[in-house]
Amino acid sequence: MKIFKGLTLGLGLFSGITYGADTSLTNKLDSLNIPSDRVSPIVSQDQIEAINGRYSSLNNRHELTFSSGNNFNSDSHIDTTQYAATYRYHLNSNWSFGFRYSQYNNELSDAGEKLFNDQRLLPDTDYAIKSTDAFVNYNTVYGKIRLGEKRVLYFDHYVSLGYGNVALGNGEATMYTADTGFSFWFGKNFSTRFGLKNELYYQQKINGKESVHNVMGYLEFGYLFGEGSARRLSL
């Protein structure tokens, strides 16, 4: 009888211990049941940013931008500025395709004004009036700049190649473009770019054709439509 009572007491204590352990384990598991729209508090903020990748997805998004630029490699007798409107389709975070329309504003430089005033001559050079080109863009590097404890600026370095047509004062010419710069993303819908765009084509002069190499430094502001399809990574 004493043995039976001992076994009964032992089983009761074991059951109590087991139940207590199960309850404790259940409570711990319940504490890990985090809502789908929140990140585990166990992971630090730095780890969250490293895991989540892009703050705003570029997948399958459309972007419209406007830019203003200056030609840093123009003929010494002419100063040229450029205004452009650009449409981009972002296939994913790396690749995008676009179409750009540009207009040029040309004025005589100080050297050009002096030539005209002193000798009543205009420089033997052509000038661009407007151009259109299609291009493909590749984002090479994605990065983040921390501006404070809770503020981060996201950016991409990009390169692009394009092909198009330029209307000149003395006709039209085929134009090739090579572009590089940095894109900065503000929130999920706004963008700013600083870049250098190389424009290559031939112009007609009195002595024949001559190659032209414009280097357009520009500042561009844009708006991204939609939300994009974000790629989620599991923790």
CATH number at residue 152: 2.40.160.20
Task: Specify if 45 maps to a domain.
Answer: no
Task: Specify if 36 maps to a domain.
Answer: no
Task: Specify if 38 maps to a domain.
Answer: no
Range of the structural domain that residue 86 is part of = 58-225
Q: Please state the domain count of the chain.
A: 2
80 and 26 co-located in one domain = no
Which of the residues in the chain have pLDDT under 70?
1-53, 74-77, 109-124, 228-235
Task: Specify if 131 maps to a domain.
Answer: yes
Task: Specify if 15 maps to a domain.
Answer: yes
Task: Specify if 220 maps to a domain.
Answer: yes
Report pLDDT for 230: 52
DSSP letters, 173-209, are EEEEEEEEEEEEEETTTEEEEEEEEEEEEEEEETTEE
Question: 135 is written with which tokens?
Answer: 């291009």
11 and 76 co-located in one domain = no
Report pLDDT for 115: 58
Contact partners, residue 9, CB within 8 Å, separation at least 6:
none
pTM for this prediction: 0.71
24 and 106 co-located in one domain = no
11 and 107 co-located in one domain = no
Report pLDDT for 233: 41
63 and 163 co-located in one domain = yes
Report pLDDT for 181: 97
Report pLDDT for 55: 80
Question: Could you tell me if 27 and 198 are in contact, meaning their C-beta atoms sit under 8 angstroms apart?
Answer: no
Spatial separation of the C-alpha atoms in residues 61 and 64, rounded to whole Å: 10
Task: Specify if 168 maps to a domain.
Answer: yes
Residue with the two structure tokens 């975070």? 93
3 and 111 co-located in one domain = no
26 and 90 co-located in one domain = no
68 and 19 co-located in one domain = no
Q: Is 136 exposed, middle or buried (0-12, 13-18, 19+ CB in 10 A)?
A: middle
24 and 66 co-located in one domain = no
145 and 210 co-located in one domain = yes
Task: Specify if 230 maps to a domain.
Answer: no
94 and 6 co-located in one domain = no
126 and 188 co-located in one domain = yes
CA 190 from centre of chain = 10
Report pLDDT for 47: 45
